[in-house]
Homo-oligomer: A and B are copies of this chain.
Amino acid sequence: MDKKEALEKIAKRLRIHSLKMTAEAGSGHPTTCLSMADLITCLFFDEMRYNPENAEDWANDEFVLSKGHAAPILWAAYAEAGIISEKSLMSLRKITSVLEGHPTPRMKWIKAATGSLGQGLSAGVGMAMAMKLGKSPGRVFVLTGDAECAEGAVWEACNTASYLKLDNICAIIDINRLGQSGPTMHEHDIKAYERKFKAFGWDVIPVNGHDINEILKALKIARKNSGPTVILARTIKGKGVSFVEDKNGWHGKPLKEEDLRRALKELGPMPSINAKKFVHKPEKKKSHQLEKKYNFKKNTYKEKTATRRAYGNALLNLARINEAVVALDGDVKNSTYAEDFFKSFPKRAFQVYIAEQNMAGIGIGMSAKGYLPFIATFSAFLTRAHDQIRMASYSFSNIKFVGSHSGVSIGADGPSQMGLEDLALFRSIPDCAVIYPCDAYSTEACVESLARHRGLSYLRTSRPATNLIYSKDEKFPIGGSKVLRRSKNDAAAVIAAGITVHEALKAYDELKQERILLRIIDAYSVQPLDKVNIIKEVEKAGKKVIVVEDHYKSGGLGDAVAGALSGKAEIVHLAIKDIPRSGQPEELLDKYGINAKHIKNAAKKLLSR
């Protein structure tokens, strides 16, 4: 039996599995699986090198299924490769199964969760970058749908791959002509794809996506190219089952009993072949160890310093003792202060230009390969990557997002540059650590805490220089808080973070003159909030609370505190309630009601009730 014949048999097995699995589950996308059956067969059973006994082998090739809705055929491929049992395929989409509707790393061979389209290529590029950095002999294959090429993030990823001349990544586009609700923009106009990918600097190889020999030949060429390669595979949605082939209206529909019977009859009996014999292991096993320490040397500060500046200092010193640290920039490194790291560690520093979605997606890929990406931009612009950040949480990524220029305190640039919804964005993600320090020392300590924390996290920094409040050696654990002013006679508590801590301290000083004492709490850990201690402090401070934050009213610190204190205290919430405008920082803090004056007034009003 020649290779072509063998692979055709395996492809047929995958087709049959896909149809049966989705029919059993009662949902899923069988026709989407059928168009890529021959492609995935050539990849998993000829081209790719992977050690089926170890998903973490550093020599493995990696595979990303960007068109995540084709998960069933991916699970089928893993079964044929002997990685999971054939029987387990029938657990598709069941609540007890790791074979979910769209791939997640609950199944351990999955490195990047997919299902939000147009994201797989960025994750693949990130893996390819990590594998270059860590000298893996492996390569990355990303199987992408045609409809998802309408997503701009695909082109952002293409830019980075060609800019970095990544020769260890190969994208395969399954051009099956049909999207969910109808034909794609370019249908089977392969030339249209060819022009685009070429313009973005990729080598392009068009193939018939159902011709095993053509596919194998293309993969062989890709292997030898000196930059990124895309294989444009012309395919038929539903290929192999005549009554669904190339037909609109079959997206996301499993075959019902009678149709399944017809389809299986048409495909013929399950071919007898041991696909495991066609799995190729890498030449040598490889492991990859990086020195990872966290207790970096903290800087000494003598004057007011912006927390963004302290972040840059901390990143640099952390990187000196932690080889896993990498940093990505979207052309604002001179504002976020990642630039010192970029100068000192050019091999671990990546300029992805103004493309935040791709920056986050690359982070997913690099994290999956064991690196610790720090991704910094203006906090406002992290909204651009919200979908990728969401998917990073489903990839269980270990990424540290850093948002500078938070709040109205940035001043005259105006609302488009102000991060005012970033706390809401990151708080909504379960178990994401959301940290918002107010001075240089606490910022450095928070960077250490975040680096140690395994998982998604967000550090919010500010533009203006702020007073030094803490000492160099103080610890800032995730989930903590600090009481900055406390007496036995506190009439109310002020809960603040970042910029507003300084306003709260001013209000404290002024009200003290009037013999009104406030308890001042720095809730630098916005999530998880230090609920137990905050409740305790508030109960001893008159059960009256003012929360003040440089963030929109909903979703930030105020909501976090209200949730924690439900029923236990009266709360006044000072936050940005209108769309702000350009102005000086002090003017804006005043106009939008979050400066010392407003805290004082709120306290007096609360106490007079």
CB distance from A443 to the nearest CB of B (A): 21
Contacts of A402 in B (CB 8 A): none
Contacting pair A428 B417 (CB below 8 A):
no
Chain B residues contacting A510 (CB-CB under 8 Å) are: none
Q: Which of B97, B430, B554, B582 contacts A577 (CB 8 A)?
A: B430
Q: Known: A181-B339, A380-B390, A416-B391. Is A354-B150 also a contact (CB below 8 A)?
A: yes
Closest CB in chain B relative to A252 CB, distance in Å:
8
CA distance A568 to B571 in the complex (A): 10
Q: Which of A151-159, A167-175, A231-239, A313-321 contacts B (4 or more CB under 8 A)?
A: A151-159
Once the chains are docked, how many angstroms separate the CA of A114 from the CA of B333?
21
Q: Is the CB of B358 within 8 A of A152?
A: yes
- Closest CB-CB distance, A113 to chain B, in whole Å? 6
Distance (whole angstroms) from the CB of A535 to the closest CB of chain B: 13
* CB < 8 Å neighbour of A591 from B95, B102, B339: B95
Interface string of A574-609 (1 = CB under 8 A from B): 001111011110011001000000000000000000
Q: A355-B150, A559-B555 are in contact. Are A100 and B582 (CB under 8 A)?
A: yes
Return A497 CB to nearest CB of chain B, in Å: 15
> Which A residues, 184 to 198, have Cβ-Cβ distances below 8 Å to chain B?
184-185, 195-196, 198
Q: Kindly identify, within residues 19 to 65 of chain A, every residue whose CB is under 8 Å from any CB belonging to chain B.
A: 25-28
Q: How near does chain B come to A210, taking the closest CB pair, in angstroms?
A: 24
Contact B559 A114 (CB under 8 A): no
Residues of B contacting A588 in the complex (Cβ-Cβ under 8 angstroms): 95
The answer, among B150, B200, B566, B578, for a CB contact under 8 Å with A430, is: B578
A576: nearest chain-B partner, CB-CB? B430
Is A357 on the interface with B (CB-CB < 8 A)?
A: yes
Give A224 to B582 CA distance when docked, in angstroms: 40
Chain A interface extent, by class: 35 or more
Complex interface: stretch among A8-16, A115-123, A466-474, A486-494: A115-123
Which B residue sits closest to A554, measured CB to CB?
Answer: B427
Q: List CB contacts (< 8 Å) of A389-412 with chain B.
A: 390-391, 393-394, 411-412
Which residues of B sit under 8 angstroms from A198, Cβ to Cβ?
195, 199
Cβ-defined partner of A199 (8 Å) among B153, B195, B424: B195
Q: Residues of B contacting A200 with CB < 8 Å?
A: 196, 199
> In the docked arrangement, what's the CA distance between A310 and B292, Å?
55
The residues of B that contact A563 with a CB separation of less than 8 Å are: 554, 558-559, 562, 571, 573
Contacts of A576 in B (CB 8 A): 430
A102 to B196, CA, bound (A): 32
* Smallest CB gap from A526: residue in B: B554
Task: Decide yes or no whether A217 CB sits under 8 A from chain B.
Answer: no
Determine which residue in A354, A416, A556 has the highest number of CB atoms from chain B within 10 A of its CB, and name it: A416
Closest to A563 in B: B562
Closest chain-B Cβ to A159's Cβ sits at a distance in Å of 6
Q: A155-B152, A555-B554, A584-B95 are in contact. Are A421 and B429 (CB under 8 A)?
A: yes
Set of chain B residues within 8 Å of A573, measured between Cβ atoms: 563, 566
Q: Is A482 an interface residue (CB 8 A)?
A: no
Q: Counting CB contacts under 8 A, is A435 at the interface?
A: no
Q: Which residues of B contact A165 (CB under 8 A)?
A: none
Contact residues of A between 106 and 146, Cβ < 8 Å to B: 106, 113-118
How far, in angstroms, from A577 to B124 measured CA to CA in the complex? 29
B residues in contact with A180, CB < 8 Å? 331-332, 334-335
A487: shortest Cβ distance to chain B, in Å?
23
- CB neighbours (8 Å) of A93 from chain B are 412, 414, 582-583
In the complex, A555 Cα to B427 Cα: how many Å?
7
Q: A114-B416, A147-B331 are in contact. Are A427 and B424 (CB under 8 A)?
A: yes
Q: Which of A148, A334, A339, A413 has its CB near the most chain B CB atoms (within 10 A)?
A: A413
Q: Which of B152, B429, B553 contacts A355 (CB under 8 A)?
A: B152
Contact B179 A354 (CB under 8 A): yes
CA A94 – CA B587 in complex, angstroms? 10
**A269 neighbours in B (Cβ, 8 Å):** none
A522 is an interface residue with CB less than 8 A from chain B: no
**Which residue of chain B has the shortest Cβ distance to A68 in the bound complex?**
B416
Interface centre among A104, A553, A581 (most CB of B within 10 A): A581
Is there contact, CB below 8 Å, between A390 and B421? yes
A131 to B101, CA, bound (A): 42
Given contacts A195-B198, A554-B428, contact A581 B104 (CB under 8 A): yes
Task: Evaluate contact between A148 and B354: CB separation under 8 angstroms.
Answer: yes
Pair A329/B181 contact, Cβ less than 8 Å: yes
For A94, what are the chain B residues with a Cβ–Cβ distance below 8 Å?
A: 582-583
Partner of A95, one of B153, B353, B579, B587: B587
In the complex formed, the residue of B with least CB distance to A148 is B354
Report the minimal beta-carbon distance from A25 to chain B, rounded to whole angstroms: 7
Interface residues, chain A, with chain B CB atoms under 8 Å away: 25-28, 68, 93-95, 97, 100-102, 104, 106, 113-118, 147-148, 150-156, 159, 163, 179-182, 184-185, 195-196, 198-200, 329, 331-335, 339, 351-358, 380-381, 383-384, 386-387, 390-391, 393-394, 411-417, 420-421, 424-425, 427-430, 527, 543, 552-556, 558-560, 562-563, 565-571, 573, 576-579, 581-584, 587-588, 591
| Contacts A/B (CB < 8 Å), 18 sampled | A27-B412, A95-B584, A101-B413, A102-B413, A115-B417, A152-B156, A181-B332, A182-B331, A184-B353, A195-B199, A386-B387, A386-B421, A424-B424, A424-B425, A430-B553, A558-B563, A563-B571, A567-B570
Closest 3 CB pairs of A and B: A152-B152, A115-B416, A95-B583
